[in-house]
Amino acid sequence: MRQVLLTALSLCASVFAQSSTVDTYVTTEAPLAKAGLLANIGASGSKSEGAKAGVVIASPSNVNPNYLYTWTRDSSVVFKYIIDEFTSGADTTLLGQIQNFITAESTLQQVSNPSGTVSSGGLGEPKFNIDETAFTGAWGRPQRDGPALRATAMIGYANWLVKNTSVSNVVSTLWPMIELDLNYVASNWNQSTFDLWEEINSSSFFTTAVQHRALREGAILATTLGQTSVVSNYQTQAANLLCFLQSYWNPTGGYITANTGGGRSGRDANTHLASIHTFDPAAGCDAATFQPCSDRALSSLKVYVDAFRSIYTVNSGVASNAAVATGRYPEDSYMGGSAWFLAVAGVAEQLYDSLIVWKAQGTLNVTSTSLAFFQQFESSVAVGSYASSTATYTTLTAAVKTFADGFLAINAKYTPANGSLSEQFSRNDGTELSAADLTWSYAATLTSFNARAGIASPGWGAAGLVVPSVCQTSGGGGGGSGSAGTVAVTFNVDATTFLGEDIYITGNTDSLQNWSTDSAMILSPANYPIWSITVNVPASSDIQYKYIRKVNGAFESWESDPNNEFQSPASGTFTRNDTWR
C-alpha cells in the first residue's frame, strides 16, 4: 500500500511539474511567438525586407532551404489566426495588418503564373515571390488547399465587417475575392492536387477537409450577402466533398489515410492538422467531419503519434502513453525526417479542442473506434457514455489534459531561450533544423496556446450535416477512377539518385504538363529507390511520357529514348512500373 501511495504521489508531482513547465512556456513564448510572426509580414516586419505590405514570408531563410517566398496556404493559416485575434477583440491593433493582407492577396489572385491565369487555374499556384511577382521555377503545382484556406480567413473578417459596417461594404470589397476562391474550389475540388507537403500529387485529406469547410461557410456568407446565385452550387459541391471525405477513413488500421497516392502508409500530420483547421465547437464530436474529439480523429491521432515512438532518438525511454516528438510522417526523409514544431503543437491543439467540447457538452463518449485511445490512460475503461459527474470522466479528461501538455512540454524543451521557432528540431538531439523563424511554427504555437486556454474560433456550419448516400462526383487523383473522362495512373520508376537530385515526370497531356521541363512534376521518394506519383490522365488515350532528373530544382537530364507509351484504360485505375533508362 505504501509503495502504491508513493507511486501515485510521484505521478502527481510529475504531472504538476509538467503543467508548471507548460504554464511558464505559454507565458514566456506567447509574446515572443507573436513578435516572430509579425516580423515575417511585409512591409514593416523586421525580418521581411523586400516583401510588399501584407505579404507573409514563410521564413527569412534564403538558403538551404530557401523559404523566402509567400505561400498562399501558409499566409492564409497565419492570417486566420490574426483575423481571429482581431475579431474576438483579443488584439484590436491588427486591423491594419488585415487590410494589408487583403490588398496583397487581391493582387496575387490576378498574377498570371505557371498554373494559369485567375480564370484558368492560376488560383492553384502554391507560392509567389515576395514582391508579388510569379514564381516560375519548377514546383509541385497546383496545390488546391490555398484558395480554400484564404477564403476561410477572409470569411472570418467578412463576418465581422457585416456586423460592424454593412452588407453592401462586404459585397463591394471582400466578396469578389472570396467568390473567386470559392468558385475555384467548387470547380476543381475533384481534380488531383499536390498535398500539404508538396510531394504527392493525388487527393489529400487536408485539402478535401478545408475545401469542404470553405464551401459550407461560403454558402452561409453568400446567403447573408444576398448572393444567392452561387449558394446552390456551393452546397451541392460541399455535399460531394463531405461524401468523398469519408473515403479517407481506414477502418482496419483505425486511422485517416492522408493521401490517396504516393505509396506511403498514410499516417501523417496532414490528418490532425486538418481536424484542428476544421474545428467547429457546435459540431461536437461529429465523426463525419472528423472533429477533434470524434472517435475517428482520436483513433487516428493515436496511430499517428505511436508511429514516431520508436524511430526518434529523442523519444527513447518515454512511456507508451506519454507525449513524444512527432514529424510529418514516419517515412519522411526531408532534412533528415525530423520533428516539426507545428506538428507537435497540432497534436496538443487537437486534444485541447476535444476538452473544450467535452466540457461544453458535459459528457464524453467512448466507442469501439476510440477505445484504444482512451485505454492509454485507463486500461479498464469500457465503451460507453460518461457524464461529467462520473469519476471516469474526471480521470480521462485529466489524463488527456496531461497528455496534451506533454506535447507542448516537448516543444518547450527544444525552443531556444530567445523563443525562435524553426521548421524542425532534430530527431536525434533536438537541435533546431531547416528554415529558421518559420511563420507557421509561430502561428501553430499561438493557436495551441489559445486552445489550451479554452478559446475556440467561431463555427462554420459543421453541425448536423448528413453524409449523402452517393457521391455525385468521385474525388480526383488516385482515390478511384478520377474525374470525368480521366483515369488515375500511378507512375513508379526505379531510379538511384544522389543528395539534392530528384526525379520528375512530363508527357503529352495537360495533366503531364505537355512535355515541359519547367513545370514537370516531382515524384515522391517515399519508397526509394522507387519514385512514385499518381496523376489523372485522359481515359482511352495514347499516353506518352518521360522521366527527367533535376538537381536542387534545376534541369539535369532526360531519360534515354524512346518515349514511354501506353493506352490508358476507359475507367478504373492503372499502374506503370518503369526503370530509369
Active centre residues (catalytic): 195, 198
Q: Strand 339-340: give its sheet, edge to edge.
A: 339-340, 424-425, 432-433
CA distances from residue 378 to 323, 343, 351, 392 in whole angstroms, order as listed: 16, 26, 16, 9
Alpha carbons 41 and 23: distance in angstroms, whole number: 28
Which residues fall within 8 angstroms of residue 366, CB to CB, at 6 or more apart? 374, 381, 382, 383, 384, 385, 386
| CA atoms lying within 13 Å on the CB side of residue 216 | 21
* Three cell numbers written together for 104: 496583397
Alpha carbons 452 and 181: distance in angstroms, whole number: 32
Alpha carbons 424 and 15: distance in angstroms, whole number: 26
Which of 519, 504, 491, 499 lies closest to 550 in space, CA to CA?
Answer: 504
CB burial string 186-219: b at 16+ within 10 A, e below:
bebbbbbbbbbbbbbbbbbbbbbbbbbbbbbbbb
For 315-324, which contacts have Cβ atoms below 8 Å and span 24 or more sequence positions?
Answer: 320/376, 321/376, 321/377, 321/403, 322/403, 322/406, 323/347, 323/403, 323/404, 323/405, 323/406, 323/407, 323/409, 323/410, 324/410
CA 551 from chain center: how many Å?
Answer: 27
User: Three-state SS for 42?
Assistant: coil
φ, ψ dihedrals at 459, nearest 5°? -75, 175
Residue linked to cell 476538452: 355
Is 139 known as a binding-site position? yes
Q: Per this entry, what is the length of the chain?
A: 581
Other Cβ atoms less than 10 A from the Cβ of 111: the count is: 16
Which residues fall within 8 angstroms of residue 272, CB to CB, at 6 or more apart? 297, 300, 301, 304, 346, 347, 350
Alpha carbons 145 and 380: distance in angstroms, whole number: 41
What kind and span of H or E run contains 21? helix 2-39
Alpha carbons 528 and 269: distance in angstroms, whole number: 21
Which residues fall within 8 angstroms of residue 338, CB to CB, at 6 or more apart? 312, 327, 424, 425, 426, 427, 428, 433, 434
Binding-site residues for substrate, please? 139
